[in-house]
């Protein structure tokens, strides 16, 4: 039976990391935690579940997750964020395929988000993610901060069940993340040499809102869906605005 290494990156996640680690115990043969020098009890809590804890100043989401993969003892990697956990159906699905993981190169699964006070069943769902993969055939890629697993060869199969994502406890939390993520995203736009004009913030912002609210049917998620749709549009607007401002300042 192939063995699975669960890989987690963390920073000041004392409120959420324990539930994440508990959900991994039935399926993981080892747990790797790469911590970005937390100042709270994150490492202390993690030490109750694994002795494979490594400290590393934050390198970037993609780089930090690939570092965790490199620390793993096994080739099959199951990756979660600290605010995520496996539901019972997904746990059962992973156990059901564990004897023959090599039938595919990777496995995708849905992610369901709890936002402030309710589950989002539309605007951020099913949000399919590849999180179980053979590191010989896949690795973390994408553009910071929006990392994703890139599968280089072989088949990707879908598992039943959800990753439960406990995202933001308040709108203030969302706004703080929005500020930091748009900063990273704007820098990535500049680094890639992508041209940004004065219309891009508006067009990207409006399109993102319409995609969430109308196409993804965010209106069925009630007021939380409206807030998420608006702030998703704001995220796009601010990211491209920051990129435009940086470009003009640098020139």
| Neighbouring residues of 188: CB distance < 8 A, sequence distance ≥ 6 | 143, 144
Alpha helices in the chain (DSSP H): 17-24, 42-46, 61-71, 88-97, 171-191, 200-210, 222-250
- Closest C-alpha to 38, from 24, 54, 51, 49: 54
Q: How confident is the model at residue 144 (pLDDT cuts 50, 70, 90)?
A: confident
State mean pLDDT over 193-201.
Answer: 93
Is 107 exposed, middle or buried (CB count within 10 Å of its CB: 0-12, 13-18, 19+)? Answer: buried
Q: How confident is the model at residue 250 (pLDDT cuts 50, 70, 90)?
A: confident
Integer Cα distance of 194 and 212 in angstroms: 24
Torsion-angle region of residue 208: left (phi > 0), alpha (psi -120 to 50) or beta? Answer: alpha
State mean pLDDT over 21-33.
Answer: 98
Predicted pLDDT of residue 108: 98
Per the DSSP assignment, residues forming a β-bridge with 6 are: 31, 78
Q: How confident is the model at residue 1 (pLDDT cuts 50, 70, 90)?
A: confident
pLDDT tens digits, one per residue of 147-174: 999 999 999 999 999 999 999 999 999 9
């Amino acid at each position: 039976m192939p063995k699975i290494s669960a890989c987690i990156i963390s920073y000041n996640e004392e409120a959420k990391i324990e539930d994440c680690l508990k959900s991994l115990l039935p399926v993981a043969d080892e747990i790797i935690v790469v911590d970005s020098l937390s100042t709270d009890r994150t490492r202390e809590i993690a030490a109750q579940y694994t002795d494979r804890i490594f400290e590393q100043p934050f390198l970037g989401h993609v780089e930090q997750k690939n570092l965790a993969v490199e620390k793993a003892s096994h080739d099959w990697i199951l990756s979660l964020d600290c605010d995520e956990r496996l539901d019972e159906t997904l746990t059962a699905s992973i156990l059901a395929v564990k004897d023959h993981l090599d039938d595919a190169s990777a496995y995708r699964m849905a992610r369901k988000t709890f936002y402030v006070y309710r589950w989002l069943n539309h605007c951020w769902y099913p949000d399919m993610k590849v999180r179980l993969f053979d590191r010989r055939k896949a690795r973390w890629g994408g553009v910071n901060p929006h990392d994703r697993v890139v599968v280089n060869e072989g088949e990707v199969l879908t598992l039943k069940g959800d990753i439960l994502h406990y995202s933001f406890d308040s709108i203030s939390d969302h706004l703080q993340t929005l500020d930091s993520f748009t900063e990273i995203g704007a820098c990535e736009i500049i680094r890639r040499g992508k041209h940004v004009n004065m219309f891009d913030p508006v067009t990207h912002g409006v399109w993102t809102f319409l995609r969430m609210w109308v196409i993804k049917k965010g209106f069925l998620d009630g007021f939380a869906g409206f807030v998420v749709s608006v702030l998703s549009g704001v995220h796009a607007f601010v990211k491209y605005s920051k990129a435009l401002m940086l470009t003009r300042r640098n020139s």
